[in-house]
Structure 1
């Protein structure tokens, strides 16, 4: 990672300078005085393909909420996993000479935060200084792969600034989650691989092994700082009311018919379901045992 850091430093020296100040602040909240209030940072840890885009779209529409300049900042997963960061660096090279200014700005903003993570905390602290804004957040599903030490660091860094951190984690049936993620990869990257070739992948497992993710979250955050539920329960009034209460936001009715980043469904063969469900049998058992009262029995395999 040391060599990677030096590469990143050199690239930044030649990079255009972008202001991380959130332009939407002045539009949504024209007055910017510091107010005495509770300040909360929402860290939505995913999981991937479990309704986080829909939830982000709903929550950011509430008047006292101002999220970051993008739903997923992807700072700490890049710091932890060199292969993912390398992909970003290669992407910068690929678009450096292009006319896609939006993509260039987006990538350089991310790389700026990665090279100096203190900017990440300062950026969200600035958002929360805005009058009327009580909640901001980062909805990067891949953050559920972060180690205990990184999650603790994030919590402590915000607490030093007087900001509470709350966690939302949504699970989805492992077979359906992996199938949906495969379809997304095919749609976005044009890479389509058979389902039985991807379900054992390193990152696939890290996003799906809830029996490893949840104890890690609980080791860092207290009960009153964590909200866990299921994708299969998300589009229900009771679940939304619980989330709004957890975040201390006003009751608001969402549009349950709205679809965000939905991919065309593909039927999963019975043999594929059986093989994948068997491979993740420990995951199913853990979830049934820990969340029996809200476990979506009819929707999980």
Structure 2
């Protein structure tokens, strides 16, 4: 028997709408909401790694059971005490864009029913939006402004924009019917169709209120049209994947 009955995991790079979508979905009483939005349980892996270490299966069954109970307690402590095992556990995190195959295997082994929502966005728009966010939040402010013309080539940025790579890994492990791709742009321009698509995929009524917008701000990074063109060329394959995900 799987440790965790049902989970809805949302994967999306920063500024792809994962936070906004989380706040929309968690308004429903039909989901188990975590104490903090970003549980980051699977990719951190420290919670579950002990279960699959080499000597685990050589341990006495009672000891294995105790370790399994510890693993389960570690997962459920991220949720409110009144969680319902018959409902999906929500788990939304941008850092899942870097999820490894070993973590995917852990999800597959320990969750009975799991569904994934993958959020995409125009690569150039995502990069610029994240730079703007950094300006507002003062995160590596001067460094990112100084290196803004090279930031889009950084390992972190490449990893965060690798939509097709994450999609392929999830589909190989769980099948196409367990992965739903939603474009950031559609969340606001085609909200009704997104509601229908998500409701059908999840099996629960989803309502999106486009009047609720997060992370508003006035700070803007000056980005040339040439840089936008270079970003789009650099992420050509991901731009095509994003375009195909549009409704």
* Same topology, TM > 0.5: yes
Aligned pair in 2 of structure 1 residues 76, 250: CA closer, same or farther (>3 Å)?
closer
SS of the residue corresponding to residue 45 of structure 1 reads strand
Match of 1:57 in 2: 23
| Match of residue 37, structure 2, among 30, 46, 71 | 71
Residue 178 (1) aligns with residue 127 (2): yes
1:99 aligned partner: none
Shift of residue 197, structure 1, vs aligned partner:
2.8
TM-superposed deviation, 1:274 = 1.2
Normalization by structure 2: what TM-score? 0.76
**Distance change in 2, residues 1:238/1:128 (3 Å):** farther
Q: Residue 187 of structure 2 aligns with which residue?
A: 234
For residue 219 of structure 1, give the secondary structure of its aligned residue in structure 2: helix
Instruction: Tell me the CA shift for residue 79 of structure 1.
Output: 4.2
Name whichever structure is richer in strand by fraction.
Answer: 2
Are 1:155 and 2:108 matched, yes or no? yes
Q: In structure 2, do the counterparts of structure 1 residues 216 and 251 end up closer, same or farther at CA, with 3 Å as the change threshold?
A: closer
- Partners in 2 of 1:248 and 1:52 — Cα distance? 19
- Which is further off, 145-154 or 166-175? 145-154
Equivalent residue in structure 1 for 2:177, among 216, 224, 231: 224
For residue 282 of structure 1, report the CA deviation from its aligned partner. Answer: 2.4
Who is 2:88 aligned against?
135
Residues 1:280 and 2:235 aligned together: yes
| Residue in structure 2 matched with residue 94 of structure 1 by the alignment | none
Q: Is the 8 A contact 2:118 2:180 kept in 1?
A: yes
The separation in 2 between residues aligned to 1:270 and 1:143, in whole angstroms, is: 30
Q: Confirm or deny: 8 A CA contact 2:6 2:111 kept in the other structure.
A: no
Instruction: Please report how far the alpha carbon of residue 128 of structure 1 lies from its aligned counterpart in structure 2 after TM superposition.
Output: 8.1
Counterparts in 2 of 1:85-234, with a 5 A limit? 118-123=72-77, 130=84, 134-159=87-112, 164-192=113-141, 193-194=144-145, 195-234=148-187
* In structure 2, distance between residues paired with 1:187 and 1:251: 31
* Partner Cα separation in structure 2 for residue 40 and residue 71 of structure 1: 17
| Offset, 1:200 | 1.1
- Structure 2's unaligned 5+ residue stretches are 47-69
Aligned length: 214
Moved segments of 4+, more than 4 Å: 124-129
Aligned to 1:28: none
Match of 2:225 among 263, 266, 270: 270
Query: SS where residue 139 of structure 1 aligns?
Result: strand
Distance 1:265 1:285 in 2: 29
Q: Kindly tell me: are residues 127 and 45 of structure 1, through their superposed partners in 2, closer, same or farther at Cα, counting changes over 3 Å?
A: farther
* Alpha-carbon separation, structure 1, partners of 2:241 and 2:18: 22
Residue 258 of structure 1 aligns to a residue whose secondary structure is coil
Q: 2:119, 2:182 within 8 Å by CA — same for their partners in 1?
A: yes
- Offset of 1:118 from its aligned partner? 4.4
1:68-87 CA-partner distances (Å, limit 9, x unpaired): 0011123444449xxxxxxx
CA positional deviation for 1:124? 6.5
SS in 2 for 1:165: strand
